[in-house]
Amino acid sequence: MARLQSSIRKNDTVIVTTGKDAGKRGRVLQVHPDKNRVLVEGANVISRHTRPNPGKNVKGGIMKREAPLHASNVQLVCPECGARTRIGHKLVGDGRKVRVCRKCEGVVDK
C-alpha cells in the first residue's frame, strides 16, 4: 500500500533511517509536500563554501546547513511512546482526522 503523501509535518520529531545520518533524531523544520522532502534539524548537513561579501556583512568560509531529506528516509518518533513508528489515521469524536502511532495507538496530533 503506497502512500503518496507523507504524514510528516513541521515540528514533528523524526529519526533518519538511511544514509550517513541514519539513527539521528531531529525536529522537522520544513516540509516540501510537492517534492516529498523534509528538512530535519541537524540531519543531512552539507557544507557550503561562500565568498565574502562585505557589503552584506557576509564573511567567507564554509557554511553548514541542512539539506532536505526524502520523506521516505525518515520515520516519525512517537511523542507518546518514544518509538519510531509508522503513522495511522483515526477519526475522532468531532469528525477530525488525527494521526495516531501504530505502536501505542497514541494520538500524535494534539
Residues lying near Zn ion in the complex (CB under 5 A) are found at: 78, 80-81, 101, 103-104, 106
The least distance separating Zn ion from the CB of residue 99, rounded to whole angstroms, comes to 11
Q: How far is the CB of 78 from Zn ion (least distance, A)?
A: 3
Of 17, 24, 21, give the one whose Cα is nearest residue 74: 17
Closer of 14 and 78 to Zn ion (Cβ): 78
Q: In which residue are the cell numbers 534539524 written?
A: 41
Whichever of 67 and 104 has its CB closer to Zn ion, that residue is 104
- Residue nearer to Zn ion on the CB measure, 27 or 70: 27
DSSP symbols for 34-71? TTTEEEETTSSEEEEEE--BGGGTBPPEEEEEE--EEG
